């Protein structure tokens, strides 16, 4: 029987596995805080899933990015190259280090950092000094690392990106916050660079309420990450801390939710794929709707289903007023007041184009076919009325 459709959320947590049991166990045993078996279990599950040696759980993806940049050696006044079209946390984590972002515009089709623009910038505006460090010509400051963001779980041509990094002596960190489960040539997002980061906030493919994980294959960096995220405590009895650390460790009770969520991840990915295919199948010839271009060799996790249309503003208003929660892309970094003074490398400002034309539509892993059909029927109705 069809149920009455109330509000259809955009992308909400799906709590349908062992979450209650594991949380209950934490509550009953008192292990709710920063120590407890679920923290390690969650870290190992994420690391194993993506085929990496180590995972370090943090309170959120933003803190995981912050610590990764510290571990990559980013210091005050360094530059870090980053995608212009991203969630603000990518840029904020750079600011937390006292470093400065250089923003690279997005590709208008796949929405990832545009590699042509990146390469052209590195070729013409930077040089490698006698110490082997990459330097920005205009002010002679060091570009310490680059942090591409896998926007909406898509991945650019990683082989090409790695060649560029090699040529310019650049290490890289992946902001894979949205890309758990995505792969390039069979290799998981988050495992390409020296460090990768996932987020588990409420809208991600799995959620711990709030949470993140740093991924690395480097044992020294893994140990350091755990040390810095646990206040750099050396001796728990004497409260001896050997550096300025952070209280960033994910607590056991949230890790317990993470373990239950990880158990369901393969099914969540299947459902996201189903939703993506369902929408594409039904919306392909509706109005001027276009979809994100998925790059060759990419297995996409279909995290947040997003469409592109010149009627974005009107459609957003129409869907939200019909209790179908839909959202535009984040405001590009160069348009935010605290980041507008930084270098933004672009040719046609495609970040603005993507921002002004794209909207994400409901795609929670617990969405029903009836709800999907309802969203589709409303979108069709909107375009019928428009044309
Ligand atoms: C691209 C990107 N980077 C970083 C983050 C930050 O993650 P969190 O919200 O867990 O701090 C998010 C998610 O919100 C994100 O989408």
Is the per-residue pLDDT at 331 higher than 70?
yes
**What per-residue confidence (pLDDT) applies to 2?**
59
CB of residue 208 inside a 6 A radius of ligand 1: no
177 lines ligand 1 (CB under 6 A): yes
Predicted local confidence at residue 138, as pLDDT: 98
Bigger pLDDT: 101 vs 4: 101
Cα of 45 to ligand 1 centre, how many Å? 20
- Residue of 197, 80, 92 lying closest to 147 (CA atoms): 80
Q: What is the pLDDT of residues 279-292, one digit of tens each?
A: 999 999 999 999 99
117, 102 in Cβ contact below 8 A? no
Burial of 156 from C-beta contacts in 10 A (0-12 / 13-18 / 19+): buried
**Token digits of residue 67:** 């610590």
SS3 80: strand
Q: Judge whether residue 1 has pLDDT over 60.
A: no
The pLDDT tens digits for 161-208 are 999 999 999 999 999 999 999 999 999 999 998 999 999 999 999 999
- The pLDDT of residue 237 is 87
Is any atom of ligand 1 closer than 6 Å to the C-beta of 173?
no
What's the mean pLDDT when you consider all of the chain? 97
Q: pLDDT confidence of 5, banded at 50, 70, 90? A: confident
Rounded distance from Cα 162 to ligand 1 centre (Å) = 23
Q: 281, 141, 262: which is closest to 213 by C-alpha?
A: 262
Q: How remote is the CA of residue 173 from the centroid of ligand 1, in Å?
A: 14
Give yes or no for residue 199 CB within 6 A of ligand 1: yes
pLDDT band per the 50, 70, 90 thresholds, residue 3: low
Q: What is the pLDDT of residue 286?
A: 97
- The atom of ligand 1 lying closest to the CA of 200 is 10
Q: What SS3 class is residue 281?
A: helix
Instruction: Render pLDDT for 108-163 as a digit per residue (tens, 0 to 9).
Output: 999 999 999 999 999 999 999 999 999 999 999 999 999 999 999 999 999 999 99
d(CA 365, CA 359): 18
360 lines ligand 1 (CB under 6 A): no
* Token pair listed for 129: 């000094």
Query: In this predicted model, what pLDDT tens digit does every residue of 34-68 receive, in sequence order?
Result: 899 999 999 999 999 999 999 999 999 999 999 99
């Amino acid at each position: 029987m069809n149920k009455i459709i109330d509000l259809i959320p955009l992308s909400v947590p799906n709590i349908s596995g062992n979450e209650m049991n594991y949380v209950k166990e934490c509550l009953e045993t008192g292990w709710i805080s920063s120590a407890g078996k679920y923290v390690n279990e969650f870290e190992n599950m994420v690391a194993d899933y993506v085929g990496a040696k180590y995972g370090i759980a943090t309170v959120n993806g933003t803190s995981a990015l912050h610590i990764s940049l510290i571990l990559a050696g980013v210091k005050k006044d360094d530059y870090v190259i980053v995608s212009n079209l991203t969630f603000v946390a990518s840029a904020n984590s750079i600011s937390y280090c006292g470093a400065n972002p250089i923003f690279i515009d997005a590709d208008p089709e796949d929405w990832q950092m545009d590699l042509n623009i990146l390469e052209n910038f590195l070729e013409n505006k930077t040089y490698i000094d006698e110490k082997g460090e990459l330097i920005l010509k205009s002010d002679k400051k060091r570009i310490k690392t680059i942090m591409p963001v896998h926007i909406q779980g898509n991945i650019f041509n990683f082989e090409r990106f790695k060649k560029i990094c090699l040529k310019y002596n650049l290490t890289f960190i992946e902001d894979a916050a949205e890309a758990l489960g995505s792969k390039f040539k069979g290799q998981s997002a988050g495992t390409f660079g020296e460090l990768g980061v996932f987020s588990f906030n409420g809208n991600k493919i799995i959620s711990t309420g709030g949470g993140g994980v740093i991924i690395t294959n480097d044992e020294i960096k893994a140990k350091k990450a755990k040390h810095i995220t646990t206040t750099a405590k050396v001796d728990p009895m004497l409260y001896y801390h050997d550096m300025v650390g952070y209280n960033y460790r994910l607590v056991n009770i949230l890790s317990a939710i993470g373990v239950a969520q990880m158990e369901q991840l393969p099914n969540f990915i299947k459902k996201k794929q189903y939703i993506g295919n369902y929408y594409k199948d039904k919306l392909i010839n509706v109005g001027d709707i276009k979809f994100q271009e998925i790059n060759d060799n990419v297995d996409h996790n279909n995290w947040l289903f997003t469409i592109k249309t010149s009627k974005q503003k009107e459609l957003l208003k129409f869907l939200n007023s019909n209790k179908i929660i839909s959202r535009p892309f984040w405001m590009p970094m160069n348009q935010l007041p605290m980041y507008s003074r930084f270098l933004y490398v672009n040719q046609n400002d495609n970040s603005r184009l993507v921002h002004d034309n794209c909207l994400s539509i409901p795609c929670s892993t617990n969405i029903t076919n009836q709800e999907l059909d309802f969203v589709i029927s409303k979108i069709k109705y909107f375009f019928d009325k428009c044309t």
